[in-house]
Amino acid sequence: MSSFLGKASSVIWIVAGLIVIVLSALHIKNSHSNIELSCRNSVLEANPDDGALHKYAMVANFSLQGRSARISYRYYSLTGQPLVTLSMRGKIKSANHGTGTYVLSLTDSDIQNYQNHTEQPLHALHLAEFSNRNINNNGAHSLTIQLVKALGKNQVLLHFLPSTNLCICSLSQT
């Protein structure tokens, strides 16, 4: 009888091990992506000191390749002069291709100010501060995006979760 229990126990451990391997493989496979998103936005800000309105152009590029995630937020003056670039890098924590939902875990963030311009969009500074605080306190800045709807041949509506921010982006898949 003990021989039978020993064999049954071994079979259970083997089956449990195979289940863990299969689930791990599915998670890794589902974390892989090959998409590029390019989003163009306008940023309108009120100066906290004098209430003056400032308008900037912003280009946000999302590169999800394999398990790697890279985001670049580039800010420009209305005349097209580069002001600030915020870059973040990390990995795709999970990807649900059926719903178009991607959970990103960003572990590196840096901001580059262009020397010819002292003007810095508050949006860039706040985003850099927020992401760096999360990286320093939690080891990562988490961001979830969802491709909500195809709007044309190469355009999608992108939703930032859990916020209500929506953006129209150009999409290319490799």
> For residue 13, is pLDDT > 90?
no
**Beta-ladder partners of 61:** 38, 72
pLDDT at residue 51 above 80? yes
Q: What would the mean pLDDT of 137-156 be, rounded to a whole number?
A: 94
pLDDT (tens digit per residue) in 18-32:
343 333 334 434 557
Residue matched to tokens 């991607």:
102
* The residue type at 54: H
Q: Which residue has the higher pLDDT, 148 or 6?
A: 148
Q: Is 16 helix (H, G, I), strand (E, B) or coil?
A: helix
Mean pLDDT for 66-88 is 94
Give which of 96, 72, 94, 98 is closest to 85, Cα–Cα.
72
**Percent of the chain as helix, strand, coil, to the nearest 5:** 25, 50, 20
Q: Assess contact for 130 and 140: CB atoms under 8 A.
A: no
- pLDDT of 81-135, one tens digit each? 999 999 999 999 999 999 999 999 999 999 998 866 677 899 999 999 999 999 9
User: Whole-model pTM?
Assistant: 0.78
Query: What's the Cα-to-Cα distance from 149 to each of 145, 159, 166, 172, rounded to whole Å?
Result: 12, 9, 11, 14
- Rounded (5°) CA angle 112-113-119: 150
> Side-chain half-sphere of 83: how many Cα atoms within 13 Å?
21
Amino acid 22: pLDDT: 34
pLDDT confidence of residue 165: 86
* CB neighbourhood size of 35 (10 A): 18
Phi then psi dihedrals of residue 67, to 5 deg: -110, 5
Regarding predicted confidence, which is higher, 94 or 3?
A: 94
Q: What pLDDT is attached to residue 148?
A: 93
Sketch the domain layout of the chain as residue ranges.
1-31, 34-173
**Chain mean pLDDT for the chain:** 83
162 or 59: which carries more pLDDT confidence?
59
